[in-house]
Structure 1
Amino acid sequence: MSSQHTYTIAPGVRSIRADKALAIGFPEHSRSALQRAFDAGLVLRGGVALTRDSAVSGGDEIVFSMPQTRPSELRPVEIPLDVLYEDKHLLAINKAAGMVVHPGAATGEDTLVHALLAHCKGSLSGIGGVERPGIVHRLDRETSGVMVIAKTDAAHRGLAEQFSARSLQKEYLALVNGAPSLLSGSITKAIGRHPSQRHKMMAFEDSARSLAPEEKVAEFYDLEADEDENTSVVAGGGRRKSGPRDAHTDWEVVERYGKIAALVRCAIHTGRTHQIRVHMKSLGHILLGDAVYGWKRDARIPEKSQPKRVMLHAEHLVVTHPITGKTLDLRAPVPRDFSSMIKALKTAAKNATETA
């Protein structure tokens, strides 16, 4: 078992969940790691074990230990990785579309984690737990592009702090239907879960609820009491609807393909679920291939060229190296299916013009 840690809740905090309190005090530990400490009865206040939803308040002293990490049962699988940068502290890759980041109930042995175990020969940060070694952030299965992986715990802590503080730069390329009338814009509509279709998010015109400082940290670790119900714990231990969260996307048109589609570059300043997909839909421009948010087959595009996935690519990530302090400017070339889609759109736009 690792050494004991002590954390005193800041004065003035009326009431906060114990798991959120630990996320604030020890941001280097993942949600799953903190959950293991609670499950093992290793989080104490006054010698009494706390549960994750125990209420703690200003002045409370929390003592906890991290349980010994059990050996990973995941086996390394030799899956080729497109490496953009690597040193002894971290690794940056261009994730392939279709690759799941970490194992889940419906995944096989073809996840990024399986590939990392083989590539890094066990040299991965353990902060994310045995199911997510080295994983600092995620991309959806269908999204391709830049991901940064932590090989050491120190690198993991430094990278996690940058994601939490929103101090890094993230840019995506997206193919959307239609031709935006403007060349660029900024979207600040709040994003929340759809009231009836729980697998979807939606944009709200109303202002987002402001987050307290402690919530901003806990939010990064996805520590909502019940994410599906979009609730959060408030002072006194009760619950309220947390409502939509603030979201900010800047976008610009890179290229138009007649009235059929456009290539846009999106810089995101927050990290909401489906943020680019939801924000672009709110402008009336759904990402090609995004059936969840209403994309339908376009007859102007040849059948063989119809998108097989959501056409979203994480092109650019700028981070500060957590150990050396140097700026890492990471760029991922678009994959073949993305470039082929662009070629097909150019041809379709030309044909549409000639037959008009």
Structure 2
Amino acid sequence: MSEDELILSEIGEDDEQQLYEHVRLDVDKGQEPLRIDRYMQEHLPHSSRNRIQKAAEAGFVHVNGQPVKSNYKVRAGDVITLMLDRPQHDTTIVPEEIPLDIVYEDDDLMVVNKPAGMVVHPGCGNFSGTLVHAVAWHLRNCPTYDPNNPEVGLVHRIDKDTSGLLVVAKTPEAKSNLGIQFFNKTSRRSYQALVWSNFVEDEGRIEGNIARDPKDRLRMTVLPPDSEIGKPAVTHYRVLERFGYTTLVECVLETGRTHQIRAHMRHIGHPMFGDERYGGMEILRGQRSSTYKAFIQNCFKICPRQALHAQTLGFTHPSTGKQMDFTAPMPDDMLQLIAKWRGYIQGLTNVDVVDGQQ
């Protein structure tokens, strides 16, 4: 359930208002008594406790068919439903004629270079215009591909404002095979990213569990590797080019968690340049001059997103067993951004730029 689904419309005085079921939770037999707002927050990761409490106050949270308040304590066997005053959005995938940059295609799979700004999968207010809708149109005549069948389709995802490579399975056998490769970490994925600040070392390894940030449910946070919270995540990085106040790095994923690179880089003090959600849309390093501030604002305009590109993708072909490796060139917005940083650093005179400081 998205947070938007808990944005409530005002309730009038109509006692006969029709309600529609959006969420159903069956409480396990071994469940100890627990406040329903806490229980729902734990089981609905995209919603906040405050929104759940508002839903309960509005009469939208039901237990065993009856509305309850947020202090109700759930018990074993309870059936919890979120009942809203509008029908649930139809998530059926309908093919849409949207251009695709297809890097490779055969009878088993296709590799697509996704542009920044395109949502990969419908949901959370984006119910059309996604990559999934575009793929459905392209494969509308493919007998093995049903866009509403979870046994085919996208094998992995990247964020809306991240550009780069994705693999789509046309058959259940291909998706199962590729899914196992991603799970076993035998697939190859590398990203290029522009991050804030200069690195002391030329390469390194970031390890830390990825979990949803309790202070911002749309952001992920990093916890110690031995933490029982979150999922284990490992990112390897290598410096490609230094610009004093920013650094171009290559990131290789050992695991594939939500926002992994973005969260890991912020965790070690190098937020992604232009990444508003993780603090990269601010001037974090550099001079205080108006000229420098104007330069940074121009950079944000050139690339108004996190500067992250899924550049390479490699896997074993599910039918032939052949190693397949693909590369997507860096998109224009990031090329212009990096060129601007090169020009700026080369133009500096009598300035010692070390570790992001003058």
Q: Describe how 1:215-294 pairs up with structure 2 within 5 A.
A: 243-257=229-243, 259-294=244-279
Change (3 A) 1:321 1:208: farther
- CA–CA separation in structure 2 for the residues paired with 1:128 and 1:79: 15
Give identity over the alignment, percent.
37
- CA–CA separation in structure 2 for the residues paired with 1:131 and 1:159: 14
Q: CA deviation at 1:196?
A: 2.4
Q: CA deviation at 1:280?
A: 1.1
Answer yes or no: is 1:304 the counterpart of 2:289: no
- CA–CA separation in structure 1 for the residues paired with 2:181 and 2:139: 23
Change (3 A) 1:73 1:198: closer
Deviations 1:209-240 (A, max 9, x none): 4xxxxxxxxxxxxxxxxxxxxxxxxxxxxxxx
TM superposition outliers: structure 1 runs of 4+ over 6 Å: none
C-alpha contact (below 8 Å) 1:260/1:349 kept by paired residues: no
Structure 1 residue matching 2:154: 3-state secondary structure:
coil
C-alpha contact (below 8 Å) 2:274/2:280 kept by paired residues: yes
Alignment partner, residue 71 of structure 2: none
Alignment partner, residue 171 of structure 1: 190
Change (3 A) 1:80 1:73: same
C-alpha contact (below 8 Å) 1:125/1:150 kept by paired residues: no
Structure 2 residue matching 1:278: 3-state secondary structure:
helix
Change (3 A) 1:155 1:149: same
Change (3 A) 1:282 1:300: farther
Answer yes or no: is 1:343 the counterpart of 2:339: yes
Flag structure 1 segments of 5+ consecutive residues without an equivalent: 1-14, 17-52, 55-71, 210-242
C-alpha contact (below 8 Å) 2:95/2:134 kept by paired residues: yes
Alignment partner, residue 25 of structure 2: none
Amino acid at match of 1:109: S
Structure 2 residue matching 1:200: 3-state secondary structure:
strand
C-alpha contact (below 8 Å) 1:172/1:313 kept by paired residues: yes
Structure 1 residue matching 2:339: 3-state secondary structure:
helix
C-alpha contact (below 8 Å) 1:127/1:153 kept by paired residues: no
Deviations 1:108-150 (A, max 9, x none): 5311112112222242765873589512211110111110011
- CA–CA separation in structure 2 for the residues paired with 1:278 and 1:107: 23
Deviations 1:244-286 (A, max 9, x none): 32211110000011x2211100111111211111111122111
**Normalising by structure 1, what TM-score?**
0.66
- CA–CA separation in structure 1 for the residues paired with 2:326 and 2:246: 27
Change (3 A) 1:186 1:300: farther
Q: 2:104 is matched with which residue: 73, 85, 98?
A: 85
Q: CA deviation at 1:339?
A: 0.6
Alignment partner, residue 313 of structure 1: 309
Structure 1 residue matching 2:305: 3-state secondary structure:
coil
- CA–CA separation in structure 1 for the residues paired with 2:199 and 2:309: 19
Please identify the structure whose Cα radius of gyration is greater: 2
Alignment partner, residue 152 of structure 1: 171
Deviations 1:301-350 (A, max 9, x none): 35333130011111111101111111110111111111111111112222
Alignment partner, residue 326 of structure 1: 322
Answer yes or no: is 1:118 the counterpart of 2:103: no
**Normalising by structure 2, what TM-score?**
0.65
Amino acid at match of 1:120: L
Flag structure 2 segments of 5+ consecutive residues without an equivalent: 1-28, 31-75, 78-90, 284-292, 353-358
Amino acid at match of 1:335: P
C-alpha contact (below 8 Å) 1:191/1:272 kept by paired residues: yes
Structure 2 residue matching 1:284: 3-state secondary structure:
coil
Q: Bigger relative contact order, structure 1 or 2, given CA contacts below 8 A and separation 6+?
A: 1
Structure 2 residue matching 1:114: 3-state secondary structure:
helix
Structure 2 residue matching 1:149: 3-state secondary structure:
strand
Alignment partner, residue 47 of structure 1: none
C-alpha contact (below 8 Å) 2:241/2:248 kept by paired residues: yes
Amino acid at match of 1:267: V
